[in-house]
Amino acid sequence: MINILNYKREPNGKASGESVMRGDSPLANPYRVKPWGEYERGETLPLYKEWLEYNYLNDPIVYNEVHRLYDKWRKESSLSLVCCCWPLACHTEILRDFIYKLALLDTLLEGEK
The per-residue pLDDT for range 9-43, each reduced to its tens digit, is 666 656 678 889 888 899 999 998 888 888 888 89
pLDDT for the residue numbered 63: 98
Q: Which long-range contacts (CB under 8 A, 24 or more apart) does 8-16 make?
A: 8/84, 15/80, 15/82, 16/80
Residue 26 domain-assigned (yes or no)? yes
pTM, whole model, 2 decimals?
0.86
Residue 62 domain-assigned (yes or no)? yes
Which letter does DSSP use for residue 32 in this model? P
Q: In this predicted model, what pLDDT tens digit does every residue of 86-102 receive, in sequence order?
A: 787 889 999 999 999 99
Residue 113 domain-assigned (yes or no)? no
- Give the chain's domain count: 1
pLDDT for the residue numbered 50: 97
Residue 65 domain-assigned (yes or no)? yes
Q: Whole domain around residue 37: which residue ranges?
A: 2-106
Residue 91 domain-assigned (yes or no)? yes
pLDDT for the residue numbered 39: 87
Residue 111 domain-assigned (yes or no)? no
Residue 112 domain-assigned (yes or no)? no
